[in-house]
A and B are shown apart, each in its own frame.
Chain A
Amino acid sequence: MLEEKARIIRKHIIKMIYTAGSGHPGGSLSATDILTALYFNVMRHDPKNPKWEDRDRFILSKGHAAPALYSALATSGYFPVEELLTLRKLGSRLQGHPDMRKLPGVEASTGSEGQGLSIGIGMALHAKLNRKLYRVYVMIGDGENDCGQIWEAAMSGAHFKTDNLTVILDRNGLQLDGPTRQIMDIEPLVSKWKSFGWKVIEINGHSFREILNAFNRAKSVKGKPTIIITHTIKGKGVSFMEGAVSFHGKSPNKEEYEQAMKELG
Chain B
Amino acid sequence: MWNKKTQRDAFAEALVEIGSRRKDVVVLTADLSSSVKTNRFAEKFPEHHFNVGISEQNMMSIAAGLAASGSRVFASTFAVFGTSRVYDQIRQSIAWPKLNVNIVATHAGITVGGDGASHQMLEDVALMCSLPNMTVIVPCDALETKKAVKFVVDYNGPTYIRLGRSDVPTITQENALFSIGKAMVMKDGKDITLIGTGTMVSRCLLAAEKLEKDNIDATVINMSTIKPVDEKMIIKYAKETGAVVTAEEHNIIGGLGSMVSTVLSENVPVPMKRIGIPDVFGESGKSDELMEKYGLTPENIAEAAHEVMKRRGKQK
Contact between B97 and A99, CB atoms less than 8 A apart:
yes
Number of interchain pairs (Cβ within 8 Å): 104
On chain A, which size bracket covers the interface?
20 to 34
A154 to B125, CA, bound (A): 31
Q: A119-B68, A123-B69, A129-B26 are in contact. Are A149 and B58 (CB under 8 A)?
A: yes
How near does chain A come to B118, taking the closest CB pair, in angstroms?
Answer: 19
Contact between A101 and B97, CB atoms less than 8 A apart:
yes
Contact between B68 and A125, CB atoms less than 8 A apart:
no
The 8 A CB mask of A68-100 against B (1 = contact, 0 = none) is 000000000000000000000000000000011
- Which residues on B sit within 8 Å (CB–CB) of A153? 55, 58, 61-62
Contact between B92 and A111, CB atoms less than 8 A apart:
yes
For the A-B complex with A118-B57, A118-B58 known, give 4 more contacts whose Cβ atoms are closer than 8 Å. A99-B97, A108-B68, A122-B62, A126-B69
The 8 A CB mask of B74-100 against A (1 = contact, 0 = none) is 000000000000001101110011100
Q: Which 5 A-B pairs have the closest CB atoms?
A: A122-B65, A118-B61, A126-B69, A152-B55, A152-B58
A159 to B68, CA, bound (A): 22
Contact between A156 and B66, CB atoms less than 8 A apart:
no
Decide if B50 is an interface residue (CB 8 Å cutoff).
Answer: yes
A264 to B74, CA, bound (A): 49
- Which residues on A sit within 8 Å (CB–CB) of B61? 115-119, 122, 149, 153
Contact between B52 and A156, CB atoms less than 8 A apart:
yes
A159 to B58, CA, bound (A): 13
A101 to B156, CA, bound (A): 14
A153 to B96, CA, bound (A): 21
How near does chain A come to B250, taking the closest CB pair, in angstroms?
Answer: 27
Q: Please list the residues of chain A having a beta carbon within 8 angstroms of any beta carbon in chain B.
A: 53, 99-101, 107-112, 115-127, 129, 148-149, 152-153, 155-156, 159-160
Q: A115-B89, A126-B70, A126-B71 are in contact. Are A148 and B57 (CB under 8 A)?
A: yes
Q: Please list the residues of chain B having a beta carbon within 8 angstroms of any beta carbon in chain A.
A: 26, 47-48, 50, 52-53, 55, 57-71, 88-89, 91-93, 96-98
- Chain B contact residues, majority secondary structure: helix
A159 to B51, CA, bound (A): 10
A152 to B92, CA, bound (A): 17
How near does chain A come to B22, taking the closest CB pair, in angstroms?
Answer: 13
A130 to B98, CA, bound (A): 22
Contact between A126 and B66, CB atoms less than 8 A apart:
yes
A118 to B50, CA, bound (A): 13
Contact between B62 and A156, CB atoms less than 8 A apart:
yes
A100 to B57, CA, bound (A): 20
How near does chain B come to A226, taking the closest CB pair, in angstroms?
Answer: 18
Q: A119-B65, A122-B68, A126-B69 are in contact. Are A152 and B57 (CB under 8 A)?
A: yes
How near does chain A come to B232, taking the closest CB pair, in angstroms?
Answer: 30
A99 to B68, CA, bound (A): 13
A153 to B71, CA, bound (A): 19
A selection of 19 A-B contacts at a CB cut-off of 8 Å is A108-B93, A111-B92, A115-B61, A115-B64, A115-B93, A116-B61, A117-B61, A118-B62, A118-B93, A120-B65, A122-B62, A122-B63, A123-B65, A125-B62, A126-B65, A129-B71, A153-B55, A155-B53, A160-B50
A148 to B86, CA, bound (A): 12
A40 to B66, CA, bound (A): 26
Contact between B64 and A156, CB atoms less than 8 A apart:
no
A102 to B92, CA, bound (A): 15
How near does chain A come to B67, taking the closest CB pair, in angstroms?
Answer: 7
Contact between B98 and A101, CB atoms less than 8 A apart:
yes
In the complex, what residue of chain A is closest to B57 when comparing beta carbons? A149
Contact between B93 and A119, CB atoms less than 8 A apart:
yes
A50 to B127, CA, bound (A): 34
A62 to B65, CA, bound (A): 16
